[in-house]
Amino acid sequence: MAQSHAGHSHEHSHEGYGRGNADRRALTLVFGLTTAFLVAEVIGGLLTGSLALLADAGHMASDSAAIGLSLFAFWLSQRPATPNRSFGYRRAEILAALFNGMTLVAISIWIFVEAYRRFQSPPEILGGWMMAVAVLGLIVNIAGATILARSEGESLNLQGALRHVIADVLGSVGAIVASLVIILTGWVYADPIISALIGVLVLGSSWTLLRDSVDILLERAPRGLDVERVGRGMVEVEGVEEVHDLHVWEITSGFPALAAHVLVGRERNCHDRRRELEKVLYREFGIEHTTLQMDHVGDHASESAGRLAFIPDIERRDRGAASG
């Protein structure tokens, strides 16, 4: 009878989640800053007639909503797993990151539409007040970006919030530049032109966030991890004859997982080889959560045909010579 041995790594530290409390505190503080300043910026934009300020205020409003969603996602992702949700709600963070990316796109589109409208009929703008509000906004946004950057969390959810705040920093800088031009020259077209540039920057900042969150939801291998190199590293472990049906994906950001079917020599101890493979995968590739089905060669038919398979180079050469 074929012997099948399933191996799992049960102890997972997941350092990204070990920083969960620090990330949550950082988000809470930034949420308070952005929400408090939002009201002042909206009032300032309406009183001065500045689209650049209103554009930045719109982005600030999305920041407050996005950071609030991120905080909720952090809470939800740390709820315990259940039999029907074996990984808990950890991908709630990825859904929040995806939503944040989509709101960045929506905001940039609104900025483009409003900038076009103001090109057609530019309103009067109070450059001095616009400058005062923009400088205050820059201070608040730099403080928020610094808090999130120092948190150093690898969570895609946290990175999404940070991108929102960085885009706000750019928006404040743009508003300051536009107000300077208006004060010095009276050229009101500087406001919609710089607003459109801010929109381009906001749109660009959404790309990486959308790409990475969609990749995780579609269970793509983690970026920067060469799956073929992982497979070759596994077959280099002494006693491993073949690795096939190899799958590497991310449960959420910073939480890679691997599953594979491994064939070992007839005289080898499957459990011993499994433990060695787990050590190699964690030490060399940072993969801690593994599910390895172990079989002896001959007890289970090789499934290399038609599947992603890795065979030691010396054995591959022997097979090629035999077939020749």
Architecture field, domain 222-323: 2-Layer Sandwich (3.30)
User: What is the chain's mean pLDDT, rounded?
Assistant: 79
Domain ranges of the chain: 15-217, 222-323
Strands 240-252 and 255-264: antiparallel
Q: Give the separation between CA 111 and CA 200, rounded to whole angstroms.
A: 9
Residues 233 and 176: their CA atoms lie apart, in Å, by 54
Domains 15-217 and 222-323 share a fold: no
Which two tokens mark 137?
């906004």
Give the model's pLDDT for residue 309: 65
- Give the closest residue to 200 by CA, choosing from 133, 120, 107: 107
CA-based angle 106:110:115, to the nearest 5? 150
Tens of pLDDT, residues 223-259? 889 999 999 999 999 999 999 889 999 998 888 999 9
For residue 110, the one-letter residue type is W
pLDDT for 211 beyond 70: yes
- Asked if the 15-217 domain carries CATH number 1.20.1510.10, the reply is yes
> Model pTM greater than 0.85?
no
Integer angstrom CA distances of residue 45 from 48, 173, 237, 316: 5, 15, 64, 69
Q: How far is CA 294 from the centre of its chain?
A: 33
Residue with tokens 């010095």, as numbered in its chain: 184
Query: What digits encode the pLDDT tens for the residues 35-52?
Result: 877 777 777 777 777 766
**For residue 143, is pLDDT > 80?**
yes
On whether the CB atoms of residues 256 and 250 are closer than 8 A, the answer is yes
**What is the tens place of the pLDDT at every residue in 169-193?**
887 888 888 889 988 988 888 888 8
Please answer whether residues 15 and 254 qualify as being in contact, where contact means their C-beta atoms are separated by less than 8 angstroms: yes
Range with the poorest average pLDDT among 148-162, 179-193, 201-215, 296-310: 296-310
Which pLDDT does position 11 carry in this prediction? 41
pLDDT, tens digit, for every residue of 77-110?
778 888 888 888 888 888 888 888 888 888 889 8
